Structure 1
């Protein structure tokens, strides 16, 4: 599974509706509203890099209220659990 994060600037007056419409797109796992430089962050999960074209330019970018997107593909994930398990080897 490939994971990507899409940073989204949205029209302020339609953030809840925009977020829900994005959440309903196939391949979108979660959408967070947030403070800062962007209004929404969508977490995507898909099988092939080619699938990304259907999700972002073919889906998210066409949702009313979306003004701008920036996509970041994850290479590797890290978590506290992974670190703890790595150091527990041989205990």
Structure 2
């Protein structure tokens, strides 16, 4: 499974509707509204890189309210338990 994090700049007046439309797209696992440099963050989970290209360019970028995206592909996932286990000294 490949995970991509898509930072999304959206039309301010359409953020709630855009977020819901993105959440309904196949391949989009989660969508967050947030403060900071971007308006929305979408987590895309697919089986291969070709699907990332399809989800981002053919679905997300064509969703009403989306102005611009910046996509980051995740290499490895770390959970709280993974990080704590890495610092454990044989307890």
Q: When the two structures are superposed, what TM-score results if normalisation uses the length of structure 1?
A: 0.91
Over 2 Å off, 4+ runs: 83-91
How far residue 54 of structure 1 moved from its aligned partner, in angstroms, is 1.4
Structure 2 unaligned residues grouped into runs of 5+: none
Question: Residue by residue, what CA displacement relative to the aligned partner does 1:57-77 show, whole Å, maximum 9, x if unpaired?
Answer: 000000011000000000011
Runs of 5+ in structure 1 lacking a partner?
none
* Number of the residue aligned with 1:77: 77
Q: Which residue of 2 aligns with 1:44?
A: 44
Query: How far apart in 2 are the matches of 1:80 and 1:21?
Result: 30
Is 1:32 aligned to residue 64 of structure 2?
Answer: no
Q: Between Structure 1 and Structure 2, how many residues are aligned?
A: 91
- Scaled by the length of structure 2, the TM-score of the pair is 0.91
Query: RMSD in angstroms over aligned alpha carbons?
Result: 1.4
Partners of 2:27 and 2:78 lie apart in 1 by 22
Offset at residue 78 of structure 1 (A): 1.6
Distance 1:35 1:63 in 2: 21
Query: Which residue of structure 2 aligns with residue 5 of structure 1?
Result: 5
Deviation at 1:86, TM superposition (A): 4.3
For 2:38 and 2:87, the matched residues in 1 are separated by 36
